[in-house]
Amino acid sequence: MPHTIVIFGASGDLTSRKLVPALYNLMRSGSLPAETRIVGFSRTPLSDDEWRASLRETTAKHCGCGPLDEASWQVFAANIFYQPGDIGRAEDFRLLAERLTALERGGEATRVYYLATAPQFYEPIVAALGSQGLAAETHGSRRIVVEKPFGTDLATARGLNTSLHAVFHESQVFRIDHYLGKESVQNILALRFANTIFEPVWNRRYIDHVQITVAEEVKVGRRGGYYDTAGVLRDMFQNHLLQLLMVTAMEAPVRFEATAVRNEKVKVLEAIRPLDLSEVAAAGIRGQYRGYLEEPGVQPASQTATFGAVRLEIDNWRWQGVPFYLRSGKAMSCRTTQIVIGFRQPPLELFADGRRTFHREANRLVIQIQPAEGIQLHFHTKVPGEGMRLRLTDLEFSYSREFEGRLPEAYEPLLLDVLTGDASLFARSDEVEKSWEIIDPFVRAWSSVDMPPIDAYETGDWGPLSSFEWMAAQGRTWFDLCPVLT
Ligand code: BG6
């Protein structure tokens, strides 16, 4: 069956930096189904050849595949087409429909509509696809991919779901979060459910707390206008951080398929203890890097958080009493995404010369998602020589040492999943709504006029001082190491 991927927002950054390079890499590795066409739709007036020429340049830059192989590019480019059009004009959708039918020679094809535009265009596009009959599955499957942000709060996410469901069945909708396409995130499922040795300790009996950190060195750059209305909670927590939490905390699904996996993920969100506004203030810390107010597009007295840390409790048998700390920030000390499983101390201190309290760090499992993907287990070892002197040592697994070749970019497996119709790694409607239900109270509290002024932090720090004090007050410390693996 031929495939047609229709990209709305064809002249945008996402298309040229991520989507087309990912499709090109899939073609090169032989994974892209034969007869897969790409059709770009956007307002910029371009011919097929002009769009191909511009994509050739951007793909060479962003594919991470070395110099572009001319012969492969020619094969790939022959299946790229461009249809200029305005999202607001029904006539342009009619022309798009005609072009698609012509390209598919009136036959059957799996069609994927990819929303890579600014989010305010999602609903008009969905409505137009509906009114032109483009969602009907009379000539093959029709799927729609919705990029983040999926709404800006619970109400808008519900509204978007309602608009989608007016035209598409839920099984046709693929809400993408590129974090789930990362090899090292999918490997959490393998680590937990393809091994037996972790399961017995993966619970409240052995785990003291979990830290999930997505630290970025970059600042908001050219995205100040968007970022100032979103802030770190909407930009990173509602999607990427909660996804990492779900795969860390979920129960084993009965099968590795979409419904079973998504049911287990949603159960985690359902078990997160709801907080009222007064509790939210104590359950998080917000910060803003110095210099943020001078970024283009940012309001002069903005209180938008560029750093956030929140504590969530999961009220179920596995996790009762084990706090999950989620933390993310821009302009931080380095780029690292890691999940730290902090284990409990042993029941008895044997090696401290009669002192009862522990002075050693407890065991840790550090799952490094990026940039150097791998896992490190921290444990104590006797230092050779007299007496029982101990030192923290580690066992480690590194993707780059273990496997040859580059790791696929997150968009590659996800695009392939859309083409084959596997929704396991995509968010279901109830999942996004639940996520907003968890994040909304923090957004409301953090934007309330009653909040004290936001804490500042220096570029290159791990967030504001208050974040360390807040952790210390709970008897814990952040694990602040730039990538533990290199
Ligand atoms: C995006 C956010 O979703 O994820 C960005 O909008 C952020 O602000 C990016 O920089 C991080 O993605 P990654 O894959 O580089 O960790």
Q: According to the model, what pLDDT value does residue 354 have? A: 67
Q: How far is the CA of 330 from the centre of ligand 1 (A)?
A: 10
Domain identity same for 189 and 137:
no
Residue nearest to atom 2 of ligand 1 (CA): 235
Per the rule left: phi > 0, alpha: psi between -120 and 50, beta: everything else, 291 is left
> Ligand 1, residues 13, 147, 214, 236: which to mutate, most atoms within 8 A of Cβ?
236
Q: According to the model, what pLDDT value does residue 175 have? A: 98
Please state the domain count of the chain. 2
Q: According to the model, what pLDDT value does residue 352 have? A: 77
CATH classification of the domain holding 10: 3.40.50.720
Within-domain flag for 255: yes
Within-domain flag for 417: no
Q: How far is the CA of 486 from the centre of ligand 1 (A)?
A: 21
Q: Which of 178, 209, 240, 378 is catalytic?
A: 240
266-278 burial code (b ≥16 CB/10 A, e <16): bbbbebbeebeee
209 counts as catalytic? no
User: Which portions of the chain are predicted below pLDDT 70?
Assistant: 354-358
Within-domain flag for 352: yes
Within-domain flag for 141: yes
Domain identity same for 278 and 186:
yes
Within-domain flag for 344: yes
Domain identity same for 143 and 186:
no
Domain identity same for 213 and 136:
no
**Closest Cα to residue 340, out of 321, 362, 318, 360?**
362
Q: How far is the CA of 367 from the centre of ligand 1 (A)?
A: 18
Q: According to the model, what pLDDT value does residue 456 have? A: 98
Across all residues in the chain, what is the average pLDDT?
Answer: 96
Instruction: Concatenate the DSSP letters of all residues of 158-195 into one string.
Output: HHHHHHHHHHS-GGGEEE--GGGGSHHHHHHHHHHHS-
**In this predicted model, what pLDDT tens digit does every residue of 67-96 receive, in sequence order?**
999 999 999 999 999 999 999 999 999 999
* Integer CA distances (angstroms), 245 to 67, 268, 314, in order: 38, 8, 10
Atom of ligand 1 nearest to the CA of 148: 3
Domain identity same for 122 and 251:
no
Q: According to the model, what pLDDT value does residue 485 have? A: 87
**Computed over its alpha carbons, how large is the radius of gyration of the chain?**
24
With a Cβ cut-off of 6 Å, ligand 1 is lined by 148, 216, 235, 337
Domain identity same for 205 and 134:
no
Within-domain flag for 222: yes
Domain identity same for 113 and 247:
no
Q: According to the model, what pLDDT value does residue 387 have? A: 86
- Evaluate whether 410 touches 176 at the Cβ level (below 8 Å): no
Instruction: Concatenate the DSSP letters of all residues of 449-473 into one string.
Output: TTSPPPEEE-TTBSS-HHHHHHHHH
Measured in degrees and rounded to the nearest 5, phi and psi for residue 365 equal: -115, 120
Domain identity same for 381 and 255:
yes
Domain identity same for 90 and 184:
no
Residue nearest to atom 4 of ligand 1 (CA): 236
Q: According to the model, what pLDDT value does residue 350 have? A: 86
**Domain final position from 124, 147, 170:** 147
Domain identity same for 98 and 195:
no
Within-domain flag for 310: yes
**In this predicted model, what pLDDT tens digit does every residue of 387-427 receive, in sequence order?**
888 999 999 999 999 998 888 999 999 999 999 999 999 99
- Evaluate whether 97 touches 134 at the Cβ level (below 8 Å): yes
Q: According to the model, what pLDDT value does residue 133 have? A: 95
Domain identity same for 201 and 252:
yes
Q: According to the model, what pLDDT value does residue 119 have? A: 95
Within-domain flag for 168: no
As a residue count, the chain comes to 486
Domain of residue 345, residue span: 180-409+426-473
Domain identity same for 203 and 320:
yes
